[in-house]
Amino acid sequence: MLKKKPSAKMIKKAIDSYPGGICFSALDGRVVLVNEKMNRLVLELTGHTILNAKAAWEELANFANNGKAEKLNQSWLPKDPDNENGSTHQQLFFRFSDSSVWRFELKFLDSNTIQIEAAEITELYRLNEELYENTIRLQEMQKRQNALLDSIVEVNLNKEILAAKMHIHDELGHCLLATTKAITEDSLAENADVLRESWNSTIHDFSNIPTVWTVPDSSLQSELMQVADLIECKVIFLGEQPKSRKALQLLYATVREALTNAVRHADATELTVKIEQDEKSYHIEISDNGGVTVSKITEGNGLSALRQRLEQEGASLKVLCGNSVSLIVNIPLDLDEAQKGGRK
């Protein structure tokens, strides 16, 4: 038994039951088939049903808000890699007075046929607006977070400066008091060697304030853990941490930079610091669990400043890209001894 071919009436009834709008036309715009939903949507936007698909699309593209609907900016849309030049299909977006959002899409089906389709995307648009608002909030949180991190460092630096000032005050006070007493008691000559040694020691301390007065090791670790807790990223140390004070300071500075970047750029929740040592250097590898594939990075101010600081101390920094970003740091074992003797 031969199947009965669907009649034009049956085809029209079928596309009228489609919940979205649909229109097929020739390249010159002559309408071949259009459903009721498309006509109702275009009627509300232009004041008439589709008479010519090409002309109707031009009207929609040049639409001015009429109180019944508004045309939406397309900047919220992700880029379509298959349609970067816009030749395959074109899209327009409208929000109607009932708050529904519709996407109109023009496609070239073949060399003779154009399709215009309208689909409701209200929920998609709402979710995208929420995503945009959340992104803005997250950016604001990151700004506040960065400001707080900077304030932690500033507080510790102020503590260091205060400690240095107190030391200067105490040492100068002791020297001046001893000298004054010697002059008053007329014992300057017999105490000359002791006074000279005291003044030389004080002057030596002043000349070495940048290296002598540094943040205590406990404060370095405390600051690092404060930062880690603040940005909710766990730091795991594997291996023995450096005993050299300067190497420890460089390690913590590197971990802090890696910690901030891992959370900011890779949404990491865990940072692993693997430490190995040979007879000459500490070999440190810092990686995170962010899982963001990176082929190449551009060093920002933080990473560039860290690299410069490491290189000034004879250490080195290497950035590895792949499934995540890893930092490889080599720090000489003899940093403290080199500082005492003076770098050459």
Which residues, including other chains, have CB under 8 Å from residue 232's CB and lie 6 or more apart? 263, 269
Mean pLDDT within 45-66: 91
Distances (CA, A) of 141 to 137, 225, 318: 6, 19, 30
pLDDT above 90 for 39: yes
User: Which own/partner contact pairs does 157-160 have at CB distance under 8 Å and 24+ positions apart?
Assistant: 157/215, 159/215, 159/219, 160/213, 160/214, 160/215
Length of the chain: 344
Which residues, including other chains, have CB under 8 Å from residue 152's CB and lie 6 or more apart? 223, 226, 227
Q: Which amino acid would we find at residue 209?
A: I
Return mean pLDDT, the chain.
79
What pLDDT is attached to residue 213?
A: 40
CA distance linking residue 325 with residue 287, whole number of Å = 7
pLDDT tens figures, 250-290: 898 888 888 877 877 777 889 999 999 998 899 999 998 88
Q: In what side-by-side order are the strands of the sheet with 316-320?
A: 234-238, 270-277, 281-288, 326-332, 316-320
pLDDT tens figures, 182-237: 677 676 677 677 667 767 766 666 655 544 344 445 556 776 776 677 567 888 98
pTM above 0.95? no
CA distance linking residue 17 with residue 256, whole number of Å = 61
302 — pLDDT class (breaks 50, 70, 90): confident
Interhelix angle 122-184/245-266, rounded to 10 degrees, is 160
Which residues, including other chains, have CB under 8 Å from residue 153's CB and lie 6 or more apart? 223
pLDDT tens figures, 71-100: 988 655 555 555 555 555 789 999 999 999
Contact between residue 125 and residue 101 where contact means Cβ atoms under 8 Å apart: yes
- Residue recorded with tokens 């995503």: 131
| Three-class secondary structure assignment of 50-84 | CCEHHHHHHHHHCCCCCCCEEECCCCCCCCCHHHC
How many other C-beta atoms are found inside a 10 Å radius of the C-beta of residue 53? 25
Of the ranges 33-42, 140-149, 206-215, the best mean pLDDT one = 33-42
